[in-house]
Amino acid sequence: QVRLVESGGGSVQAGGSLTLSCAVSGLTHSYDCMGWFRQAPGKEREGVATFHIGSRITSYADSVKGRFTISRDNSKNTLYLQMNSLKPEDTAMYYCASARGGYCYTGRSVADFGSWGQGTQVTVSS
């Protein structure tokens, strides 16, 4: 089990940028899948971006492609989500999560991710 701690959320105007960080403690493996998810009030939690530890292959939800970038700093064991051109519909609680093995893509079931952070709020005003 890994421990995940998110930071970097905040309030920005539409068109602005934020970078979220997820500090990872505990043992990670090359076959782990890490991801960023978000949940807006009254909506289901959805995958935003994923990062496969071993291959560094990434995937993105259609709604954020071209605007968000997921990355990982191996030396710091930290996962990032760079968010540009933010829109009001990006407003949500953002979570970092980790899954052990399996396919690594945003459509993977939320239930497959066994480790979660506490979340960080992102609010985008128009």
Instruction: Specify whether the CB–CB gap between 67 and 84 falls below 8 A.
Output: yes
Distance in angstroms between the alpha carbons of the first and the last residue of the chain: 39
Q: What percentage of the chain has pLDDT greater than the value 90? A: 91
Task: Give the Cβ contact number of residue 64 at 10 Å.
Answer: 23
Query: What DSSP line would sit under 97-115, residue for residue?
Result: EEEESS--STTS-GGG--E
Contacts of 72 (CB under 8 A, 6+ apart): 34, 51, 53, 56, 78, 79, 80
pLDDT at 30: 87
Instruction: For 20-75, write each residue's pLDDT tens digit.
Output: 999 999 888 888 999 999 999 999 999 999 999 999 999 999 999 999 999 999 99
